[in-house]
Amino acid sequence: MYGGTAKSYCEYKLLCEPFKVDKVYYVKVESPKTGRALRVRWYTDKAHADLMPNTNKYGLFYTIFGFESPDDSILCIKESYITEQEKEEYFGCQNGWRFGMFFGGIWYAPKTTEMPPIKRQDKIKFISWTEFKIAGQENSRELGLVPEKDSVWFKED
């Protein structure tokens, strides 16, 4: 939940990397209902954290993504393996799945989430917290919105 768009855009597909206009970052997203592209605010780790609920009440950082412990794993599938129709029908916050730019763009859910009846179900994999955290760190480095010392991705090492 650190670094990203406002909660109301959690199901929108990111169309580009964040870009800066004056002192503010933006990103282009695609509406899942209309298919229209919109420019929305991209909040840096600190700014986003200030807008979102206090994560301390949710426990450690890994719990935000559906991991129960640092030794746990969650379900993941690359977005490229699902069709638009499958995405609309089975993926999204309402079905327990969330989208992230990790691993080049994935849908992820806690391991107890019901497996959707999609054609490429064999592409749904279990990803460990260690693998997920490394991907989050790489994504944080690529975006470069905050120094590593300030990024939450590097604080639990």
Q: Look at the chain and report how many structural domains it folds into.
A: 1
Residue 82: pLDDT over 50 = yes
Domain that holds residue 11: 7-154
Better-scored residue on pLDDT, 149 or 126: 126
Residue 1 belongs to a domain: no
3-state SS assignment for residue 110: strand
Residue 56 belongs to a domain: yes
Query: pTM of the prediction?
Result: 0.62
- Write the CB contacts of 136 (distance below 8 Å, at least 6 apart in sequence): 102, 153
* Burial of residue 78 (number of CB atoms within 10 Å: 0-12, 13-18, 19+): middle
Residue 2 belongs to a domain: no
Tokens of 111: 């391991």
Q: What's the whole-number average pLDDT of the chain?
A: 80
**CA distances (Å), origin 102, targets 21, 22, 35, 131, 150:** 24, 27, 22, 10, 19
Gyration radius of the chain's alpha carbons? 15
Residue 145 belongs to a domain: yes
What digits encode the pLDDT tens for the residues 91-125?
Answer: 876 678 888 877 888 899 999 988 899 999 999 99
Residue 134 belongs to a domain: yes
Residue 40 belongs to a domain: yes
Residue 99 belongs to a domain: yes
